[in-house]
Copies of this chain bind each other. A is one copy, B any other.
Amino acid sequence: MKVAVLGFGTVGVGVFEMLGNAEGLEQGTVLVRPGKNDMAFKRTSIEEIVSDPEIWAVAEVMGGIEPAFSYAKEVLKAGKHFVTSNKALVAAKGIELSNLAYENNVGFLFSAACGGAVPILHNLSIARESDKILSISGILNGTTNYMLDSMQRLGLDYSEALKDAQRLGYAEADPTADVSGLDALRKIMLACAVSFDMLPTEGILNEGIENITSQDVKHFMSRGYTCRLMVKGGRTENSVYAYAEPVLFRESAPECSVLQNFNMACYEGLNSGRISIIGQGAGRYPTASAVLRDLSTILGGRKYMLRQNCKAVKAENDKLSQLYYVRLPESMASRIPAESADTENGVARLITKPLSVLKMHSLAAKIREEGGKIFFAAIGE
């Protein structure tokens, strides 16, 4: 079956190559921008692709919402399967695209948008049919994991760690989506939608790693903690919780053995218990391998990850409480309900009383509004 590829960047090249060796799949045309390349297999308009009866499916690996969203709609309306690695697209337009796919009886899968080669969405979508998924968590951003790992194991400071990640191609020139936690947050949104039929689009919270310093790292390492940027999602009574934030783990926790730019995705099933999957979360061939798996999955008869009853919901991040480690100016320390505090040179380091995620993120936002520099991280079990 011929597969067209939209986008011919890092991942697109990998997808195109892998199509040459995959069972039941063949290289189709590739959409590139005008003037970019004139090799025979390339086309410059989506019309040529959707009107080609030989094209069975389209893999979109361009990123960004437009023109990917317009292209996706044309592909689905033309009765061709659509798979994508584009988490921004699916987080923003996933339900609309899913409905269109059902209407046209074609497949819509997006494994590569969450976890790269880590097949978490695929496994969630199968597991939920016979088990009840209770919660999901993970390290789903390789860039920030690489940076945190470099700061902790190699002693780099934040800007050195970022530069290293950029040099190795793990971080974009503009790293905002990664370091703010937004990229990871989008992935947990997708995992919630697949597992719970609820795509949290409001009330979601992301705290990234932009505010961590090498002093913070030294401080919590001296206490036996390792920091990871975690995402969490799960059921509440009427909705879901969904957020990204740094978490401190004791060194025996499995999260601490996720090094460099690896990802780890976990879920807790009522019957299966906790399942963790670890692998490469990004990169040409790992991400392409997830795109190809989606195509194989459609070929095998399974066409959807989102259910027809999936709906957008407001996340409830005020239901669970946990302790936080917080570093902020001594002058503002009284604003955070604390169990214990150390202060030195005008800087306070606190362990909070139990606070909800919403409460902690809101307190930090207010302190920042007033010009205070603050870093916080939940204390993992």
Contacts and interface: CB of A to CB of B under 8 A. Distances in A.
Interface stretch (A37-45, A297-305, A345-353): A297-305
A289 B277 contact: no
A270 B285 CA distance: 8
Contacts of A252: 257
Contacts of A277: 275-278
A249 to B, nearest CB: 11
B130 A119 contact: no
A127 B293 contact: yes
A278 B276 contact: yes
A122 B125 CA distance: 13
Given A129-B23, A301-B300, A289 B271 contact: yes
A271 B23 contact: no
Interface residues of A, number: 50
A186 to B, nearest CB: 22
The main secondary structure of chain A at its interface with chain B is: mixed
B279 A254 contact: no
A174 to B, nearest CB: 26
A27 to B, nearest CB: 13
Given A129-B22, A130-B18, A254-B257, A271 B293 contact: no
A22 B126 contact: no
A228 to B, nearest CB: 14
B274 A126 contact: no
Contact of A279 (B122, B276, B286): B276
Nearest to A131: B289
A123 interface: yes
Interface in A5-20: 14, 18
Given A18-B131, A132-B21, A302-B301, A269 B296 contact: no
A187 B175 CA distance: 43
Contacts of A272: 117, 279-280, 285-286, 289-290
Contacts of A119: 123, 126-127, 275
A293 B285 CA distance: 28
A117 B275 contact: yes
Contacts of A171: none
Contact of A273 (B18, B274, B286): B286
Given A278-B278, A279-B276, A301-B301, A130 B271 contact: no
Given A21-B132, A24-B129, A129-B24, A118 B300 contact: no
A95 interface: no
Contacts of A32: none
Contact of A130 (B123, B129, B256, B292): B292
Contacts of A290: 272
Nearest to A19: B130
B271 A275 contact: no
B289 A130 contact: yes
Interface string A244-258: 000000001110110
B126 A18 contact: no
A252 B276 CA distance: 18
